[in-house]
Amino acid sequence: MPLTTQATPTTYWLEHAWLGTHVEPGVTVDVADGRITAVRTGADTPPPGATALRGLTLPGLANAHSHAFHRALRGTVQVGTGTFWTWREIMYSVADRLTPETYYALARAVYAEMALAGITCVGEFHYLHHAPGGTRYDDPNAMGEALVSAAEDAGIRITLLDTAYLSAGFGAAPNAHQLRFSDGTAERWAERADALKERAHARIGAAIHSVRAVPAGQLGTVADWARERQAPLHVHLSEQTAENDACRDAHGCTPTRLLADHGALGRRTTAVHATHLTTEDIELLGDSRTGVCMCPTTERDLADGIGPAARLQGRGSPLSLGSDSHAVIDLLEEARAMELDERLRTRTRGHWTAAALLRAATADGHAALGWDDAGALETGALADLTTIALDSVRTAGPLPRLAAETAVFAASAADVRHTIVGGRQIVRDGVHTLVPDVPTALAESIAAVRG
Contact (Cβ atoms closer than 8 angstroms) between residue 39 and residue 49:
no
Contacts of 436 (CB under 8 A, 6+ apart): none
| pLDDT tens column, 294-314 | 999 999 988 899 999 999 999
- Provide the pLDDT for residue 1: 44
d(CA 208, CA 264): 9
Q: Residue 5 pLDDT > 70, yes or no?
A: no
| pLDDT tens column, 44-72 | 999 999 999 999 999 999 999 999 999 99
Active site residue 324: yes
- Provide the pLDDT for residue 8: 79
- Provide the pLDDT for residue 451: 65
DSSP 14: E
Active site residue 234: no
- Provide the pLDDT for residue 75: 82
Report DSSP letters for 210-236, one per residue.
-TTTS-HHHHHHHHHHHHHTT--EEEE
Contacts of 117 (CB under 8 A, 6+ apart): 61, 329, 330, 331, 413, 416
Which of 281, 324, 341, 364 is labelled catalytic?
324
Whole-model pTM: value is: 0.96
Q: Residue 279 pLDDT > 90, yes or no?
A: yes
Instruction: Give the helix, strand, coil percentages of the chain, each rounded to 5.
Output: 40, 25, 40
Q: Averaged over 376-381, what is the pLDDT?
A: 98
Mean pLDDT of the chain: 95
Which of 16, 262, 273, 276 is labelled catalytic?
273
